[in-house]
Amino acid sequence: MRLVNLEKLTDLQKNPGNVRNICIMAHVDHGKTTLADSLVASNGIISQRLAGKLRYLDSRKDEQERGITMKSSSISLYHSVGPVEYLVNLIDSPGHVDFSSEVSTAVRLCDGAMILVDVVEGVCAQTIVALRQAWQENIKPVLVLNKIDRLILEVKLTPLDAYVHLTQVLEKVNVVMAELLTSEVMEKEYSAEKPLQPEGDGNKPKTSNEPEYYDWSSGLDDVDDSNLYFSPDQGNVVFASASDGWGFRCESFAKIYAEKIGVKEAVLNKTLWGDYYLNSKQKRIMKKAQEKAKKPLFVQLILENVWALYDAVAVRKDRPTIEKMVANLGLNVPPRSLKQTDFKSILQCIMSAWLPLSTSVLDMVCLKLPSPLDLSETRVERLMFSHTKSFALLPPESQDLKRAFLACSSSDDAPVIVFVSKMFAVERNFLPENRPKALTSEEILARREQARLRLAERIAQKQVDDENKDRNSETTTLATEPQKEPELETQDSDAFVAFARVYSGTLKKNSKLFILGPRYDPTTSPEWNEKEAIDPATTLKDLKPGHYVTLADIKQLYLLMGRELEALEEVPAGNILGIGGLDEHILKTATISSTLACPTFTDLNLIAVPILRVALEPAHTSDMKKLVQGLKLLNQADPCVQILVQDTGEHVLVTAGEVHLQRCLDDLRERFAKIEVTASKPIVPFRETVIEPPKTDMVNEIIEQTSSNKSSQVNYKTASEVTADTAGIITQMTANKKCAIKIRAAPLPETVTKLLEDSVDLIHILKDNSNLSTGRASLEFLPDEIVLKLKDFKRKLRNEFKEGGWDPSIADRIWSFGPKKCGPNVLINEVINHQRGCAWPKEILMESSFGVSMEQDVNPLYAYDSNFLNGFQIATLAGPLCEEPMMGVAFIVEDWSIDAVEENPDDGNSGGNLHQPYGPFSGQIMSAVKDACRKAFQAQPQRLMVAMYSCSIQVNGEVLVTKSVGSTYNKNKFLFTKLSCNL
């Protein structure tokens, strides 16, 4: 029986100070869903005996079959600590790396996170990812050390050895937190205080005033990290066994032993964990237990008792001892539970009655994690505006909304601000408005009378002539069939519900609000600046280019209860909810607000990116429309999937991994398209690159090239008048012979390519703030911190070019990055009379003579800068080998010249005439650059690069198999005879 009803939960929503929005995060199979079951059972939603077996929050069939969580799902729970009542909005998130995007959607809506760690496996890859995500979203984590029963029954450690192991696991978790803190402090100190080196040749001698080193410790010493680390004496750690239904904090045993040993409860809270022991003669707690070879208090008072109970029940199965221990503990365990033949069930009954897991975990959540009222200013600014731009650049109306975030007010005057992190599909018959409702006595009588009348009509109809009866039957069938088909189709289809949180104001049913797309910016939006009217009938597919706002009617509000949804009339600030009826206005994420001054929330921090792709086609060609519609629905329902349509018309599905791919295919066949779909073999994307010419052949003999051989390798001609000299320089002419381009390709040093990949965020900033015609970025609207990072990025590029044997000034002459203006390829400008072609802002080139000149309309090349860059982008996006993006290639523009073009509209060579035989001159330049880059690429030794899959596998040593495609290059022995292999 449920502990509280819907009315009680809606009342608790009105007090944001007692609301806790949390998510469970951990590595796969560390016990998240089992723990969630125990918490759900505490509210009477499921039986306590089914906790860990039912997997209540895993509502999908494939989740139950595989035993892993694939979709994050939320449920609202009631909990009380003394007289104070709390509402806990719990989100269970996946642990598998393929579904890390679901974790990102959950973390954005929460104020706290519960990190689970399997004490046997320890800190794993996804554990580190979970801690990093919580750090990046600026939410507070607490720790649950789970599966302690494995230390007893599986690994068979003694209580003292288990204590040592627990301290090691806790220390590893804290090491991850320390690394996150250190990296952030170092970055801030570096940006604030590090003197930048001049942009010259880098070989200038240091003056006496320049520091020879930088002391990073000064910044770390000033940081308050007292509440950063996990420590049982601070109450932010729970020791648990979710499968057996028990868990405890140090406070749990401090209350028990305070009276027995005559020590204050506050003292026990601080000393139960650590190097303390109990002097039984003096009845005092002493330090230095390890030095004096004494058992720590944690072992003596806690672990030995737990071990003794497990030994009696699970090992020796001694019923008299069990009954005696239950009586000594004063537990209220039914006698029939102790008489069961399954000792595992007996153990669960005793331990859950002695140390209930839900009480310890929810107490820690309510007392240690913040409420929506505790939203920090730092997180508000991160949510409202990207770190690449200054918060002060927002309009005054937008900056005023910061107070609304911090206040978390539900008053009618407060602006409504809601963030939608994802859209998820629900069967329509599961929606509250479509559920069968209980009938009243009057309705029952009315239906009974209707049934009696229908029966009388059928009896009368039997007396009619056979011919008339057949005619009436046909008429009835024709009249009723068109009415039934749409109803069945509607009930079988899926509805989309928005997974959201209210940050300010009260979201009410039937209210009209603005839906702000992810690319909406109040500083540049025509709806805000030009005060354009928004048509309420406009949906997402009707928006014009540059417009990202629609006006929607909030039709349905839902309280998320795991597998069930409960209808609501309004939701106050600080709560997580579901919103129905927005599938025509939101694709994946959006911001809902009552004012256009609200900036859209920043993008989610996605850890995994789609990389595995398959080509899809229907088994029957006539089902192509159903496949296209199904792919659209799948794209909306999954935050990490990508749908591509190739030039050939082929539909490509891109997913994060094999498990994610299988789930998407199942959804297409069973839910969205409902047709048989044929999928190709999955492949990963390639990258095309060039390398230095080899110096030895296949038998390791030195290659001696004659002049004729050199010429034959790089010299070729085509119908496009392309020539290549011995240095690999390609000379490409436009179709009208008015423009000549000389380009050569060279492989970038590996360190430069790696730096470009790691600095993609900074290159994105250059891209977003660049001039469309010249490609040059501007620092006018960037904060000082980002400017310093850009300067440091350029300095690192110079150093890496120098280390790779290149001229460091090459970094000054980078014209563009590609593909998509942020890739690991560069366009180098060596054109003597075209110094304006440069990607760096002029503020970064103050000490470099290149690229500073900004004269307009002096050089005829200036008018075609954007066309030249677009040709480079197209070439690097699809290489000549297999139309895959290039990687690690530098294209050096040796020369670019344009002959004088007469401005005669009748002349076919006119640059401004759109009707000349070879097309516009700007398009000719774009095509010529693309062809020149591709053929310069082919003039060098070419290679295909395949993605490398790196993973950590923990198995017993005797089951390790090396007969696979991959090879084992690293083995590390772990505790408990585990073996970690990187393949």
The string of pLDDT tens digits covering residues 767-778 is: 877 655 444 556
Answer for the pair 196, 795: CB distance below 8 angstroms, yes or no.
yes
d(CA 719, CA 668): 47
Give the CA-trace dihedral at 952, 953, 957, 963, to 10 degrees.
Answer: -100
d(CA 141, CA 100): 18
Answer for the pair 720, 741: CB distance below 8 angstroms, yes or no.
no
Could you give the 3-state DSSP secondary structure of residue 514?
Answer: strand
613-634 pLDDT, tens digit each: 999 999 999 999 999 999 999 9
884 pLDDT exceeds 80?
A: yes
d(CA 775, CA 817): 10
714 pLDDT exceeds 50?
A: no
Lowest mean pLDDT: which of 187-201, 214-228, 401-415? 187-201
List the structure tokens of 422.
Answer: 């994802």
Residue 847 sits at the vertex; the CA angle it makes with 842 and 852, to the nearest 5 degrees, is: 35
Whole-structure pTM value: 0.82
Q: What is the mean pLDDT of the chain?
A: 82
Answer for the pair 111, 375: CB distance below 8 angstroms, yes or no.
yes
455 phi and psi, to 5 degrees? Answer: -65, -40
d(CA 131, CA 238): 17
DSSP structure class, residue 238: E
d(CA 885, CA 505): 47
d(CA 796, CA 205): 18
- For residue 819, is the peptide bond before it cis, meaning its omega torsion is within 30 degrees of 0? yes
Give the CA-trace dihedral at 54, 56, 57, 63, to 10 degrees.
Answer: 40
Lowest mean pLDDT: which of 68-77, 782-791, 869-878? 782-791
Tell me, what's the pLDDT at 92?
Answer: 92
Residue type, 538: T
Q: DSSP per residue over 87-98, as a string? A: EEEEEE---SGG
558 pLDDT exceeds 90?
A: yes
Average of pLDDT values for 123-141?
A: 92
46 pLDDT exceeds 80?
A: yes
Could you give the 3-state DSSP secondary structure of residue 512?
Answer: strand
Residue 301 sits at the vertex; the CA angle it makes with 297 and 305, to the nearest 5 degrees, is: 140
Tell me, what's the pLDDT at 948?
Answer: 75
Q: DSSP per residue over 810-863, as a string? A: GGGGEEEEESTTSSSEEEEE--TT-TT--SS-TTTTTT-STT----SSSSGGGG
Tell me, what's the pLDDT at 387?
Answer: 61
Total Cβ atoms within 10 A of residue 373: 17
* Of 607, 563, 422, 663, nearest in space to 36 by CA: 563
323-358 pLDDT, tens digit each: 999 998 888 888 888 888 888 899 999 999 999 999
Q: Are strands 140-146 and 237-241 parallel, antiparallel or unpaired?
A: parallel
Residue type, 847: E
DSSP structure class, residue 971: E
Give the dihedral sign, CA 367/371/373/377.
positive
Answer for the pair 359, 101: CB distance below 8 angstroms, yes or no.
no
List the structure tokens of 696.
Answer: 């030895």
476 pLDDT exceeds 70?
A: no
Tell me, what's the pLDDT at 751?
Answer: 92
376 phi and psi, to 5 degrees? Answer: -80, 155
d(CA 372, CA 501): 11
Q: Which position has the higher pLDDT, 685 or 838?
A: 685
Per-residue buried b or exposed e for 805-817, using 16+ beta carbons within 10 Å of the residue's own CB: ebebbbbbbbbbb
Average of pLDDT values for 77-103?
A: 92
Beta-carbon contacts of residue 773 (< 8 Å; ≥ 6 apart):
865, 866
280 phi and psi, to 5 degrees? Answer: -65, -30
Per-residue buried b or exposed e for 52-79, using 16+ beta carbons within 10 Å of the residue's own CB: bebbbbbeeeebeeeebbbbbbbbbbbb
HSE-up of 622 (CA within 13 Å, CB side)? 0
Tell me which H or E stretch contains 31: none
Using pLDDT thresholds of 50, 70 and 90, give the confidence band for residue 573: very high
Extended strands (E) in 871-961:
889-898, 942-946, 952-956
d(CA 4, CA 543): 45
88 pLDDT exceeds 90?
A: yes
980 pLDDT exceeds 70?
A: no
238-296 pLDDT, tens digit each: 999 999 999 999 998 988 888 888 888 888 889 999 889 888 777 788 888 888 888 99
Answer for the pair 25, 104: CB distance below 8 angstroms, yes or no.
no
First to last CA, the chain: 50
Could you give the 3-state DSSP secondary structure of residue 889?
Answer: strand
d(CA 636, CA 513): 21
List the structure tokens of 692.
Answer: 């230095």
d(CA 755, CA 766): 15
Tell me, what's the pLDDT at 755?
Answer: 92
For the chain, the residue count is 983
Place of tokens 């909005």: 89
Answer for the pair 745, 828: CB distance below 8 angstroms, yes or no.
no
d(CA 384, CA 391): 8
Tell me, what's the pLDDT at 855?
Answer: 46
Lowest mean pLDDT: which of 541-545, 815-819, 912-916? 912-916
Q: Are strands 507-508 and 494-504 parallel, antiparallel or unpaired?
A: unpaired
List the structure tokens of 218.
Answer: 């000064």
Average of pLDDT values for 932-950?
A: 88
Using pLDDT thresholds of 50, 70 and 90, give the confidence band for residue 917: low
100 pLDDT exceeds 70?
A: yes
Lowest mean pLDDT: which of 181-190, 592-601, 728-737? 181-190
HSE-up of 521 (CA within 13 Å, CB side)? 12
Using pLDDT thresholds of 50, 70 and 90, give the confidence band for residue 175: very high
707 pLDDT exceeds 90?
A: no
Q: What residues form DSSP beta bridges with 560?
A: 565
146 pLDDT exceeds 90?
A: yes
Using pLDDT thresholds of 50, 70 and 90, give the confidence band for residue 720: very low
Give the CA-trace dihedral at 122, 71, 63, 136, to 10 degrees.
Answer: -10
List the structure tokens of 35.
Answer: 């723990």
Tell me, what's the pLDDT at 195?
Answer: 45
230 pLDDT exceeds 90?
A: yes
Q: Are strands 112-118 and 19-26 parallel, antiparallel or unpaired?
A: parallel
Q: Which position has the higher pLDDT, 492 or 893?
A: 893
% of the chain beyond a pLDDT of 90: 41
Average of pLDDT values for 97-109?
A: 91
d(CA 266, CA 485): 69
741-750 pLDDT, tens digit each: 999 999 999 9
Answer for the pair 88, 366: CB distance below 8 angstroms, yes or no.
yes
Place of tokens 């060039």: 690
List the structure tokens of 42.
Answer: 């505490």
% of the chain beyond a pLDDT of 70: 80
DSSP structure class, residue 966: S
Q: Distance of alpha carbon 86 from its chain centroid, rounded?
A: 29
CA diameter of the chain:
117
List the structure tokens of 17.
Answer: 């100070």
* Of 739, 865, 740, nearest in space to 731 by CA: 740
Tell me, what's the pLDDT at 442?
Answer: 82
Tell me, what's the pLDDT at 478?
Answer: 41
d(CA 479, CA 389): 63
Answer for the pair 593, 417: CB distance below 8 angstroms, yes or no.
yes
List the structure tokens of 223.
Answer: 């940081």
Could you give the 3-state DSSP secondary structure of residue 38?
Answer: helix
Residue type, 761: D
Average of pLDDT values for 85-93?
A: 94
Beta-carbon contacts of residue 852 (< 8 Å; ≥ 6 apart):
835, 842, 845, 846
Q: Are strands 825-829 and 889-898 parallel, antiparallel or unpaired?
A: parallel
List the structure tokens of 724.
Answer: 């290549």
Tell me, what's the pLDDT at 968?
Answer: 56
